[in-house]
Amino acid sequence: MVQSTLGRSPPARISPIWAFLALASMTLSTVAMSQHAFAAEGLAGETTSRSNKTDLFPLAAKAVGAGNYAEAAHLLAQAETPAAYFELSRLYRDGQGVRRDLKKAFDLLTRAATAGYVPAQTDLGVTHALGLGTKADPAKAAYWYGKAADQGEVIARTNLARMKEIGDGIPKDEKGAVELYEKALKDGRAQYYLGKMYQDGRGVKADRLSALTFIRKAADESNISPLRRCW
């Protein structure tokens, strides 16, 4: 699995916990979703040509697989589909095959998200949270997380739940946060945060056994190493 090369530090006004949340999301959503997109739309790669724009995405997928990012960027720019805009935004964000340009990446990501492409909606939320290519805006981050969360995207649900939990950019709603975490349990971060809410009795009745269960599960299934003495 190719890891995100995102190296920009979050703006000073972003809290450490928010930066952790957003950076973790950027890695998870970009890697998992973009690979899914290339897999889903690139299966016909062996028989495609450049004569049709619908053929360009699988050709770009092959170029990425071969490490030819410049060729991939060229093909994606011609494809003009939401998935292509999303993948091209990644290349501009990371400076792969093109000169790194966060504003260009933001514009492409916005175009894909506005067209209803769920992976782009999640990453656009992260982009607004961190201020990558645009001014940091938690309210806009919450808006785009909400768009993706409504379509079942797990990472967006975790991020939106966290914002509801702490009241960042949207009104604080601990009960709503619990409900979203419960819908995002495939994400280890959701397990951890839900466990903490059970531990503290926030948005849900305090329950030490449930708290320990979720926190241990998060420690077992993720890289955030959350398990330590909590009480």
- The answer to whether 217 touches 184, Cβ cutoff 8 Å, is no
- The answer to whether 118 touches 151, Cβ cutoff 8 Å, is yes
Residue 221 structure tokens: 């299934």
Looking at CATH, the fold of the domain delimited by 15-136 is given as: 1.25.40
Looking at CATH, the fold of the domain delimited by 152-225 is given as: 1.25.40
In tens, the pLDDT along 142-166 reads 999 999 999 999 999 999 999 999 9
Domain boundaries, the chain: 15-136, 152-225
- What's the pLDDT score for residue 153? 96
User: At which residue do the structure tokens 């009795």 appear?
Assistant: 201
- What's the pLDDT score for residue 54? 72
Question: How many angstroms separate the CA atoms of 205 and 198, rounded?
Answer: 7
In tens, the pLDDT along 36-50 reads 455 445 434 444 455
Dihedral, 83, 88, 91, 95 alpha carbons, nearest 10: -160
Count the neighbouring beta carbons within 10 Å of the beta carbon of residue 170: 18
- The answer to whether 57 touches 42, Cβ cutoff 8 Å, is yes
- pLDDT mean over 209-214: 96
Per-residue pLDDT at 71 exceeds 70:
yes
- What's the pLDDT score for residue 51? 53
DSSP state of 47: G
* End-to-end CA gap in the chain: 37
For the chain, give the mean pLDDT: 82
Domain 15-136 and domain 152-225 have a common topology: yes
In tens, the pLDDT along 12-27 reads 344 444 444 555 555 4
Helices (H), 67-167: 69-79, 82-94, 102-114, 118-130, 138-150, 154-166
Question: How many angstroms separate the CA atoms of 110 and 60, rounded?
Answer: 21
Question: How many angstroms separate the CA atoms of 126 and 222, rounded?
Answer: 20
Of all residues in the chain, what percent are helix, strand and coil, respectively (each to 5)?
A: 65, 0, 35
- What's the pLDDT score for residue 7? 32
Per-residue pLDDT at 78 exceeds 70:
yes
Angle, helices 174-182 vs 154-166, to 10°: value is 160
